[in-house]
Amino acid sequence: MANRDRILIVDDESSICHFLSTVLGANGYDAIVAHTGSEAYSIIMSQALDLVVLDLGLPDLDGISLIESVRAWSEIPIIVISARMQERDKVQALDLGADDYITKPFGASEFLARVRTAIRHYRSRRIGTGRMFTGKLAIGDLSVDFNKHQVLIKGQNARLTQNEFRIVAALARNAGKVLTYDYLLKEIWGPGMANDNQILRVNMANIRRKIEDNPSEPKYILTEIGVGYRLLEDEG
């Protein structure tokens, strides 16, 4: 039997730990539980893990501090789950290196989809296949051609500008993952444009007019309000 992915759940709420452990176990994963940050850090340092699911509100230290400590030496994927609704908490966690952020409450299907995406991205980085950096990435009727610097919709060139393509390409390289506004601004326009979200919103509006059937209800590039954008990932 193939080895099962090992996932560490870090949360001080026993009911949440039980729910997540049950969901993961029923879907082919091995779940380990830690109720404090110090316990979690010890496990991360000493055991081979494939993913960490982290609540920010821990009894001994803030989850943000744990992300910083782990990211100083490890690229293990981290999915934050939290009841904190403040956008700054989401942005801070993502900017410090969390791979995803899910706000409580959430459903099992959404959680499992985020788990699959985070583990898949981690393995792609480690193997170094570059599968999203060359060739094409297809999601439904949308295709990103990295070699030709084109985005096709239903086989037709969407005729994006250079910066519009760079935005879509950045999202495509991280399909399924939220990229913060600041990350995209620095990636496309450089550090001097940080915090100028208006230019990004204008470009995104133009992109959606060119690739979405209904720009007001996008199905390819989704908005994480107050945080950033995420390109839908094709589960197929």
Same domain, 114 and 159: no
- What b/e sequence results for 165-185 when a residue is b if at least 16 CB atoms lie within 10 Å of its CB, and e otherwise? bbbbbbbbbbbbbbbbbbbbb
Choose the weakest-confidence range: 1-10, 40-49, 123-132, 169-178.
Answer: 123-132
CA–CA gap between residue 66 and residue 56 (Å, rounded): 9
For residue range 57-116, list pLDDT tens digits in order: 899 988 999 999 998 888 899 999 988 667 788 888 998 889 999 988 899 999 999 999
Are 135 and 142 contacting, i.e. CB atoms less than 8 angstroms apart? no
pTM: 0.70
> For 180-215, how does the pLDDT look when each residue is reduced to its tens digit (9 = 90+)?
998 898 888 877 766 678 889 999 999 999 999 999
pLDDT band at 126 (very low <50, low <70, confident <90, very high): low
Per the structure, the complete domain to which residue 180 belongs is given by 136-231
Is the domain of 71 the same as that of 178? Answer: no
97: left (phi over 0), alpha (psi -120 to 50) or beta: left
Read off the pLDDT band of 132 (50, 70, 90): very low
- Residue 78 and residue 146 in one domain: no
Mean pLDDT, residues 111-136: 73
Same domain, 114 and 146: no
Query: 134 or 178: which carries more pLDDT confidence?
Result: 178
Choose the final residue of a domain: 103, 127, 151. Answer: 127
Residues 38, 95, single domain; the answer is yes
Q: Judge if 59 and 99 occupy the same domain.
A: yes
Q: Name the least confident of 84-93, 120-129, 154-163.
A: 120-129
Report pLDDT for 86.
Answer: 75
Residues 56 and 160 in one domain: no
Owner of token pair 């699911």: 53
CATH of the domain at 55: 3.40.50.2300
What pLDDT does residue 133 have? 55
Residue 1 lies in a domain: no
Element (H, E) at 26: helix 14-26
What is the pLDDT of the chain when averaged over all its residues?
88
Identify the weakest region by mean pLDDT among 57-61, 125-129, 173-177, 206-210.
125-129
- The tally of domains found in the chain comes to 2
Separation between Cα atoms, residue 131 and residue 125, nearest integer Å: 10
